[in-house]
Structure formats: structure tokens, C-alpha cells
Amino acid sequence: MIYELTDPAKAAPVFAGWEDAGIIACLDNVMGKIFADDMEHPKSVMAVIGDFAYLAGEPNLELVRSKPDQWMLVVPQNEAWQELIENNFSAYKQIRYAIRKDTKFDREKLEAMANALPEGYTFRKIDGELYDVCLEIEMFEEAVSSFESKEKYLELGRGFAVMKEDKIVAVASSYSRNKKGIDIEIDTIKEEQQKGLGSAVAAKLILECLDEGLYPAWDAASKLSVRLAEKLGYEFSHEYVCYQMN
């Protein structure tokens, strides 16, 4: 059988050494859920948060089959998990890019980037009204939807939108939240790209996190995202495999 852990910390030894902010959010019991093959001494575990599922420990087919019945990015801990997925599921393999979690930020550089927001654009903190707007726009839905409710986002989430008149054109927000930080989601509408909006709003959010003593983690879906992260002061760590699964 597969169980949802009532004490997520019991999965910590199985996830040892894996520093992903989403996993930490689940282990901290701030958001997300962890499923396992045993309630007290799990050997196979799966952390589920937003559209991501992280598999660790001993490969377990039943555990993978118990993932939520929706499109997800499934991240295996090692090649044994990869083999299990590829042999049993129709899944699209892709590469993501891990970013180091020990960045020492240059505040002056970040402030200059935030202040470089082009004329005609303004920052607005994501409040209840903008939360609702983000949910209604496909491009920005993921920026807030990992939180179980608006109230949870307003309590735990952090985010800024770039406004052009009364329209959201770019967003930097917390995809997940743990006790010590967030995982950043960046989105800019196509017609407003290449104007520095993403770097400006990301810098704005990073500065907000630093002021609160939160670490703003970054994980990249593309090399373009890696380049933006490096522009903000982050350092690339390594590539890793994940699978798109329905």
C-alpha cells in the first residue's frame, strides 16, 4: 500500500542530499504532500507539490502509479527510478537545470536591475486582486496556483507583477514556500519579452526575500532561464532528468 505521511519529516533520510526547494517545502510541512510505502520507516517516497513529483529511495512502481491523476513533471532521484519510469509509462524525457542554493547576492546590482524597469511599467505586489487575475491568465496561473487557496498565498507567498497601465505583463512569484525560503517562478508575456522586465521583477522579489531573511531559490526549465539566473547572481549547478507524465 501507499500512504500519505502524517509526519513528512520521516521521509527526510530518504531525500537526504536533495536540496530542491519543493522537496524542502514538503518536508517542512508548509505545503505539498509526501507519499510513501511505510508510515514509520519509508524506503520509497514521493514528494508532490504543484505540478512536480519527486521520487526517492527504492524504486517502487506502485508509488509512481499513485501520483495525482494530472499532468506532472516527475523527477527521479537516480537512474534506477528512470529505468522504472521508462519501462512502465509513456513519458516524455527532458532536461532541467539545477541552480546552486548558496548564492551570495550583490544587493547594489539587484537594486540597479530593479530600478532599470523601463518607463511606462510599474511594479505591483501580488495582492488578493492580482492573485485572482493571475489564476485567470494561463501564462501566470502557475505563479500562484501551487498554494491551496488565496488565503494561503497571501499568508505564505511572495510576488510582484509588472504592470503596463492596468495589465499584468510579467510576474515573479513563489512557486513554493518552505520555512527558510521560496522557489521563484518567472513569466513574461511573449510580446513584452526582451525588454528587461523579467530581470527587473526577479530582482525586486529577491530583494524582498533578502529583507525578510528568506532564501529565493531558483530552478531552471531552460538554458535561457539559467542565463537569467546568472545575470541575477546565481550559479549553475548541474543538469537533471525529469519526465512529463499524464
Q: Which residues of 157-170 are buried (b: 16+ CB within 10 A; e: fewer)?
A: bbbbbbbeeeebbb
Same domain, 206 and 115: yes
* pTM reported for the whole predicted model: 0.95
Q: Give yes or no: residues 121 and 156 share one domain.
A: yes
Sign of CA dihedral 21, 26, 31, 32: positive
**Average pLDDT rounded to a whole number, residues 106-126:** 97
Segment 56-71 shows an average pLDDT of 96
Task: Say if residue 130 is in the same domain as residue 40.
Answer: no
Strand partners, 46: 35, 55
74: domain range?
Answer: 3-89
Residue at 245 is within a domain: no
Q: Which of 24, 55, 89 is the last residue of a domain?
A: 89
Domain membership flag for residue 98: no
Q: Does 20 reside within a domain? A: yes
- Read off φ and ψ for residue 81, nearest 5 degrees: -65, -40
CB atoms within 10 A of CB 205: 26
Joined together, the cell numbers standing for residue 243 give: 519526465
What CATH number does residue 52 fall under? 3.40.630.110
| CB neighbour class for 138 (10 Å; exposed up to 12, middle 13-18, buried from 19) | exposed
Do residues 209 and 115 both lie within one domain?
Answer: yes
- Average pLDDT value over all residues in the chain: 97
What value does the mean pLDDT take over residues 61-71?
95
Q: Is residue 95 part of a domain?
A: no
DSSP 32: S
User: Which CATH number do you get for residue 112?
Assistant: 3.40.630.30
**In this structure, what DSSP letter does residue 101 have?**
S
Please state, in angstroms and rounded to a whole number, the distance separating the CA atoms of residues 205 and 161.
10
Residue for grid cell 497601465: 165
Report the domain count for the chain: 2
Residue 56 lies in a domain: yes
The whole-number pLDDT of residue 215 equals 98
* pLDDT score, position 90: 93
Q: Is residue 242 part of a domain?
A: no
Q: By the 8 A CB rule, do 32 and 26 touch? A: yes
Alpha helix locations (H) across the chain?
Answer: 21-27, 61-65, 79-88, 107-115, 128-136, 138-141, 150-156, 197-212, 223-232
pLDDT at residue 166 in the model: 92
Q: Measured between alpha carbons, how far is residue 154 from residues 29, 79, 118, 123 in Å?
A: 17, 39, 28, 17
What integer pLDDT is reported at residue 157 of this predicted model?
Answer: 97
pLDDT band at 195 (very low <50, low <70, confident <90, very high): very high
Residues 112, 80 share a domain: no
Per-residue confidence band for 35, with pLDDT thresholds at 50, 70 and 90 = very high
> Is 246 a member of any domain?
no
Give yes or no: residues 40 and 71 share one domain. yes
In the chain, the percentage of residues whose pLDDT exceeds 90 is 100
Residue 51, H or E segment: none
**pLDDT reported for residue 149:** 95
Q: Are residues 146 and 47 in the same domain?
A: no
Which of 89, 119, 146 is where one domain is finished?
Answer: 89
pLDDT level of residue 177 (50, 70, 90 thresholds)? very high
Pair (69, 136) in one structural domain: no
Same domain, 64 and 131: no
Sheet containing strand 52-57, strands side by side: 3-4, 33-36, 44-49, 52-57, 72-76, 236-245, 92-99, 219-220
Same domain, 180 and 224: yes
- The secondary structure of residue 118, as a DSSP letter, is P
Residues 124, 195, single domain; the answer is: yes
Of 30, 59, 89, the residue at which a domain comes to its end is: 89
State pLDDT tens for residues 132-169.
999 999 999 999 999 999 999 999 999 999 999 999 99
One domain, residues 118 and 35: no
227 inside domain: yes
